[in-house]
Amino acid sequence: MKPWSDAFRGAMVALKRRADERNTAKQRFIDCGGECFDCLDTGWTNWRVERHDPRRACAHCTMGRARLAEMRGEVVELLTMESPLTPLAMPLEGMRAKDAEGIIAQLHEWVYGWPESWREVGPQERDQPFLLLHGLTGSGKTTTAATVANMLGARSLLVPNYVNAKEAIDVMRDRGHGRDTGPYQGEGTWRKPAPLLVDDLAVATHSEASEAFHYSVVQARYERKWPTIFTTNASLEPNGGDRTLISRIGARAYWRIKERSLIIEMGGYNWRDSRYTAR
Residue 141 sits in a domain whose CATH number is 3.40.50.300
Average pLDDT over residues 158-171: 84
The answer, yes or no, to whether residue 14 has pLDDT greater than 90, is: no
Looking at the structure, do residues 20 and 101 belong to the same domain, yes or no?
A: no
Identify whether 80 is part of a domain: no
The better pLDDT of the pair 233, 268 is held by 233
Looking at the structure, do residues 12 and 143 belong to the same domain, yes or no?
A: no
The pTM is what? 0.74
Indicate the residue among 74, 108, 126 that finishes a domain. Answer: 74
Q: Contact, 58 vs 47, CB < 8 A?
A: no
Average pLDDT over residues 261-267: 92
Number of domains in the chain: 2
Residue numbers of the domain that contains 262: 86-277
Average pLDDT over residues 134-160: 88
Q: Give the CA-trace dihedral at 132, 138, 140, 142, to 10 degrees.
A: 60
Residue-wise pLDDT for 188-211, tens only, equals: 788 888 899 999 888 777 788 788
Looking at the structure, do residues 236 and 102 belong to the same domain, yes or no?
A: yes
Looking at the structure, do residues 50 and 157 belong to the same domain, yes or no?
A: no
| pLDDT score at 52 | 62
The better pLDDT of the pair 2, 214 is held by 214
Identify whether 140 is part of a domain: yes
Looking at the structure, do residues 67 and 97 belong to the same domain, yes or no?
A: no
Residue-wise pLDDT for 103-133, tens only, equals: 999 999 999 888 877 766 655 556 889 999 9
Identify whether 81 is part of a domain: no
Indicate the residue among 74, 108, 124 that finishes a domain. Answer: 74
Looking at the structure, do residues 29 and 160 belong to the same domain, yes or no?
A: no
Average pLDDT over residues 2-7: 68
Strands across the sheet containing 228-232: 161-164, 196-201, 228-232, 130-135, 261-266
Looking at the structure, do residues 63 and 90 belong to the same domain, yes or no?
A: no
Looking at the structure, do residues 122 and 186 belong to the same domain, yes or no?
A: yes
| pLDDT score at 33 | 81
